[in-house]
């Protein structure tokens, strides 16, 4: 059995289309027209059930992290996406040395699930 797809052509402009020949030696052969404008530009959203509380937010000195899960790693990022610090197995983080602004914490639990939380340093 042999199967696959062959791109026959594509058109770009205001509307982007591809014409694809689908073939499978055991079944039918078909043509498909794929409208690339309907392709999603992001991943599907899903609800994360990690239920993490970070407080106080805004903060001036310490951030407390409260959850029933085991948090393995915490990574702190600036608003520009620069990694500032990494922590392991901590429930409180000293942020008094940071400049005022918006920051992000990326928390990873023991199941390798992640949650990103924004906090404000005053």
The pLDDT tens digits for 49-101 are: 678 999 999 999 999 999 988 899 999 999 999 999 999 989 999 999 999 99
Q: What confidence score (pLDDT) does residue 30 get?
A: 59
Burial of 63 (0-12, 13-18, 19+ CB in 10 A): buried
User: pLDDT of 106-117, one tens digit each?
Assistant: 999 988 999 999
Q: Is the separation of the CB atoms in 122 and 58 below 8 Å?
A: yes
Determine if the peptide bond prior to 58 is cis (ω within 30°).
yes
Pick the CATH number of 53-121 from 3.40.309.10, 1.10.10.10, 2.40.50.100, 2.60.40.1930: 2.60.40.1930
Burial of 69 (0-12, 13-18, 19+ CB in 10 A): middle
Average pLDDT over residues 16-44: 55
Q: Where are the domains of the chain?
A: 3-38, 53-121
**What is the pTM for the complete model shown?**
0.60
Cα gap 48→11, rounded to integer Å: 39
């Amino acid at each position: 059995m042999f199967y696959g797809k062959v791109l026959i052509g594509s058109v770009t402009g205001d509307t982007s289309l591809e014409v694809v020949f689908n073939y499978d030696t055991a079944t039918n052969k078909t043509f498909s027209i794929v409208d690339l404008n309907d392709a999603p530009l992001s991943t599907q959203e899903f609800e994360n059930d990690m239920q993490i509380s970070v407080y106080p937010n805004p903060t001036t000195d310490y951030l407390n992290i409260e959850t029933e899960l085991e948090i393995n790693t915490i990574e702190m990022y600036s608003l520009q996406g620069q990694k500032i610090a990494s922590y392991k197995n901590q429930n409180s983080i000293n942020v008094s040395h940071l400049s005022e602004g918006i920051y992000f914490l990326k928390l990873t639990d023991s199941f390798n699930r992640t949650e990103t939380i924004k906090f404000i340093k005053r």
